[in-house]
Amino acid sequence: MKFFVDTANLEEIQAAYNLGVLDGVTTNPSLMAKEGIAGEENVMAHYKAICDIVDDKVSAEIISTTYDEMIEEGEKLAAIDPKIVLKLPVIKDGIKAIRYFTDKGIRTNCTLIFSAGQALLAAKAGATYVSPFLGRLDDISMSGVGLIEEIKTIFDNYDLGTEILCASVRHSTHLLDCAKLGADVATSPLSVFLQLLKHPLTDSGLEKFLADHAKVNEQVVQEA
Ligand code: E4P
């Protein structure tokens, strides 16, 4: 499973990269706004700064909602760096734009997926990734993990090459459930990936090992 970090914060991206397990980055307009990034020039510069940190796969979201504008904006974003993946919403013009960029060999991530039908249509248009939002479905008492299972079954039935990028992943149980289903990618804040490290037996075991090590070394120092 690939791990993408879901943030526009450069320090968090650098920290995730330094961990040595990072495969990509996803951003969205809300995450960019959280960092105070506004205006075309600053947005472009920020995406470039992200690309300079990571090895590949930086999702940059297109704000336009009509086909012609999406194409124009997407071409500018794609020109920033070959690591850019264009992120487009699953609306009619978004699907048409995904087909356009796919035919040009530019990778796309179809976002705001909340149903298997949306995922199927995006895959038919040639999307590199579909992003079903687990947490937001759970928030309205629907099953986010259930949606991943449905999409996985459909994509496997037809051997579709589109990767399932589990988004709105809120905790490590989400992440593990997606991994058990064989989803290709999970994107989340770094804190969620770090939750995978947590186990009380690891903490107490390490504490005991270090205490035993310190005790015997103290004796050696005293005897010398
Ligand atoms: C995915 O690409 C989105 O940026 C993100 O995962 C949305 O997560 P949220 O529902 O926690 O805002």
Q: Give SS3 for 37.
A: coil
Catalytic residues: 87
Rounded to whole angstroms, how far apart are CA atoms 204 and 161? 44
pLDDT in tens, 26-35: 999 999 999 9
Q: From the CB of 171, is ligand 1 less than 6 Å away? A: no
Cα 144 to middle of ligand 1, angstroms? 13
pLDDT in tens, 139-198: 999 999 999 999 999 999 999 999 999 999 999 999 999 999 999 999 999 999 999 999
pLDDT in tens, 39-73: 999 999 999 999 999 999 999 999 999 999 999 99
Q: In sequence order, what are the residues at sequence separation of 6 or more whose Cβ sits closer than 8 angstroms to the Cβ of residue 69?
A: none
Token couple for 85:
């993946």
Atom in ligand 1 nearest the alpha carbon of residue 27: 4
Q: Please say whether the beta carbons of 102 and 94 come within 8 A.
A: no
Query: What pLDDT score was predicted for residue 220?
Result: 81
Mutate which of 168, 174, 184, 190 for ligand 1 pocket (most atoms within 8 A of beta carbon) = 168
DSSP-derived secondary structure for 98-131? HHHHHHTT--EEEEEE-SHHHHHHHHHTT-SEEE
**In CATH, 2-199 is 3.20.20.70:** yes
What's the CA angle centered on 182, arms 7 and 168, to 5 degrees?
A: 25
Q: Give SS3 for 162.
A: coil
Q: Give SS3 for 188.
A: strand
- Run of H or E including 3: strand 2-6
Q: Beta strands 84-89 and 2-6: pairing type? A: unpaired
Cα 133 to middle of ligand 1, angstroms? 7
Cα dist from 43 to 28, 39, 62, 158, whole Å: 11, 6, 11, 38
pLDDT: is 220 or 186 the higher one? 186
Spatial CA neighbour of 129 closest among 150, 151, 149: 151
Query: What pLDDT score was predicted for residue 221?
Result: 81
- Is residue 208 predicted with pLDDT exceeding 80? yes
Mean pLDDT of all residues belonging to the chain: 97
Rounded to whole angstroms, how far apart are CA atoms 130 and 20? 25
Q: E-strand spans in 120-162? A: 129-132
Q: The tokens 């997606």 sit on which residue? A: 178
Cα 212 to middle of ligand 1, angstroms? 44
Q: E-strand spans in the chain? A: 2-6, 24-26, 58-61, 84-89, 108-113, 129-132, 163-166, 185-188
pLDDT in tens, 174-187: 999 999 999 999 99
Helices (H) and strands (E) in the chain, counts: 11, 8
The residue whose CA is least distant from atom 9 of ligand 1 is: 168
Atom in ligand 1 nearest the alpha carbon of residue 170: 11
